[in-house]
A = this chain, B = another copy of it.
Amino acid sequence: MNVLLCGDFDEHEALEWRQALTAAVPEVNWWSPEQARQAPHAVAAAVVANPPPGQLTGLPALRLVQSLWAGVDRLLTDVTLPADVPLARMVDPAMTAAMVETAVWATLTVQREFHRYAQQQRASRWQVHPQRRADECPVLVLGQGEMGQAVAHALAALGFPVSGWSTGSGTADSTHHRPAREPGATSAVQRLSGDAALHQALPLTRVLINLLPLTPRTTGLLNAALFNALPAGAAVVNLARGRHVVDEDLLRALSNGQIGHAVLDVFAHEPLPADHPYWLHERVTLLPHVAAQTDLRSAAAVVARNLRALRDGQPLQHLVRRERGY
């Protein structure tokens, strides 16, 4: 099987991916865009990481586009993307685990005010603040795909009251909405969906974690109206996409204390410009889009499973429903 491998990675990353994929699926010929142009009829699938628009056109035998990234919002803006070819997103267990780690770390940071102790350390100031218990710190997780569910269950296991919200668009989808994988998970996560449930939940939330896919419906959802519906001093953790947040609204809410602290991993423009007010804001913990990096080894194994399913005529996993946007 000949598979086109293309994306916006640099030479070193391209080499690493080619090595990992070759190890995972040795029976595949990994073709560059140049090779694909020379024999377009022989390309059966494409494994892509935000390729330049137009790169996937003119491949008449293409039967699968497999993204190496979980978020396909940028890929879906490519109007030349063949409409009738199945598109799969990456659901990498190692990336989900990394997202759980970051979300747990961010939640503990704001619950226990470790960011405040870090400021005190830089001032050599020894000062103890009252300790808030996890059960006094309700968490609302926006997004209940693989990552949102895993994050919700990990936090519930640590004693946080956790609600998990999904937009309620589309019907239930077993590919995207799996039950929690931990067999021993006894802690309940309250499941919510739809706008009314969201607006009922916000006033009871101390930590809001965003793990939504970026779609026209969710763009700008973290705005002044949402921040004002939270209790004063609540925390916002954005691990999804920068464009979920209306930055001027968040900056205003941070200034007036409506939002007590924000942990931000993603931004409308990345890298975040060096003069952006988020960088040095004392109420912002900023990460350079590292909440969950793809792990080459486990991601390559996911690609291998889908390519072999394609070869064997078996069902493909993690297919994107384009009308829904993820």
Q: Which residues of A contact B (CB under 8 A)?
A: 94, 97-98, 100-102, 104-105, 108-109, 111-112, 114, 117-118, 120-122, 124-131, 133-134, 154, 157-159, 182-186, 270-272, 274-275, 279-280, 285-290, 292-293, 295
A134 touches B97 (CB 8 A): yes
User: Please, which residues of chain B bring their CB within 8 A of the CB of A185?
Assistant: 184
Shortest A189–chain B CB gap in Å is: 14
Which residues of B lie under 8 Å from residue A94 when comparing CB positions? 133
> Looking across the interface, which residue of chain B has its beta carbon closest to that of A267?
B126
Q: List 28 A-B contacts (CB under 8 A).
A: A94-B133, A98-B112, A98-B131, A98-B133, A100-B158, A101-B108, A101-B158, A102-B108, A104-B108, A104-B158, A105-B105, A105-B112, A117-B287, A118-B118, A118-B285, A120-B288, A121-B279, A121-B286, A122-B280, A128-B293, A130-B293, A131-B293, A133-B295, A154-B158, A157-B157, A157-B182, A183-B186, A184-B186
User: B184 near A290 (CB under 8 angstroms)?
Assistant: no
A130 proximity list for chain B (CB < 8 A): 293
Closest Cβ–Cβ distance, residue A290 to chain B (whole Å): 6
Which residues of B are found within 8 Å of A101, using beta-carbon distances? 108, 111-112, 134, 158
Asked whether, in the complex, the Cβ of A124 is within 8 Å of the Cβ of B274, the reply is yes
Specify which chain B residues have a CB less than 8 angstroms from the CB of A122 in the assembled complex. 280
In the assembly, what is the distance between CA of A270 and CA of B126, in Å? 9
What's the minimum C-beta distance from A282 to chain B, rounded to whole angstroms? 11
User: Could you tell me if A114 and B121 are in contact, using CB atoms closer than 8 angstroms?
Assistant: no
Inter-chain CA distance A125–B276, complex, in Å, is 11
Closest to A133 in B: B94
Chain B residues near A271: list those with CB within 8 A: 126
